[in-house]
Amino acid sequence: LIAFFQPKPLKGKRVLITAGPTFEAIDPVRGITNLSSGKMGFAIARAAVEAGAEVHLIAGPCELPTPLLSSGKITRTNVTSAKVMHAAAIQSSDCDIFFAVAAVADWGIAKPSKEKIKRQGGKIPALDFVANPDILLDIASTVKTKAGKPHPYCVGFAAESSALAEHAAEKRKRKGIPMIVGNIGPDTFGSDFNQLLVIDAAGSKTLNKADKLQLARQLVQLVAKKI
Ligand code: CTP
Ligand code: CA
């Protein structure tokens, strides 16, 4: 019901969202992932549909149901590795707004084994890593939209273990994006609640502790004003 009464500032806009963790395979039964639950990205997907947008949600492995599926305004692509998430996002990057909410693995396994790696009589296997592509950086720097704008309005996320404001501001500049959102800790991963630090060219603003859907709605309204 609340969705019905939300203002619709994103009517006619296309929104791309990456959410959740990625999974980097080591062998057919093992891999490396992270603690992202997907809840914040899925909440933003819901808030964007409520705001009138057409949403493409690209989700790493998480058990969450697709929000507002019956609206017909949301499509979901499930992916595993960062490489596959990157390919799906680039393919769908002709959009108005990109929320990069996924916790993307910075490195993948260089040569995942096709067979399960067995115990080797006490010998410990070594893993070689390769750098994964940076989805946000690539979309912010290279993608051109058909509407003639240089690229979608890109919103990055940052979760840090210290110096959130400094790290987030540095990331905003390094990635060449207009807005970055810091998760104010300590326990945002998996929680239904969060507190956000929103940084753009005009300065920074705290969105006080609330459940992730309320924060997502506030963030979507803020972004809608920028485009
Ligand atoms: N991101 C991405 N693709 C990657 C890595 C990160 O799209 N391969 C996006 C995340 O979704 C997030 C933003 O970039 O919106 C910042 O991610 P983060 O991991 O905090 O930044 P990094 O540049 O990877 O820096 P570091 O991990 O060293 O802090
Ligand atoms: Ca990273």
Phi, psi of 112 (to 5 degrees): -60, 140
**Residue 13 annotated as part of some ligand binding site:** no
How close is the Cα of 127 to the center of ligand 1, in Å? 22
Known binding residue 106? Answer is yes
Does any ligand 1 atom lie closer than 6 A to the CB of residue 177? no
- Does residue 170 sit in helix, strand or coil? helix
Gap from CA of 114 to ligand 1 centroid (Å): 28
Let me know if 194 is a catalytic residue. Answer: no
> Taking the model in full, what pTM does it have?
0.95
Does residue 104 line the site of ligand 1, with CB under 6 A? Answer: yes
> Does 136 carry a binding-site annotation?
yes
Which tens digit of pLDDT belongs to each residue from 106-151? 999 999 999 999 998 889 999 999 999 999 999 999 765 555 666 8
Which stretches of the chain drop beneath a pLDDT of 50? none
ipTM value for the complex:
0.99
The three-state secondary structure class of 192 is: coil
What pLDDT score does 151 carry? 81
Q: Is 44 in the pocket of ligand 1 (CB under 6 A)?
A: no
Pick the CATH number of 2-226 from 3.90.1580.10, 3.40.1360.10, 3.40.50.10300, 3.50.50.60: 3.40.50.10300
Please state, for a pLDDT cut of 90, what percent of the chain lies above it.
Answer: 86
* Ligand 1 atom 8: residue of nearest CA: 134
pLDDT value of position 186: 74
Which is the catalytic residue, given 34, 78, 194, 208? Answer: 34
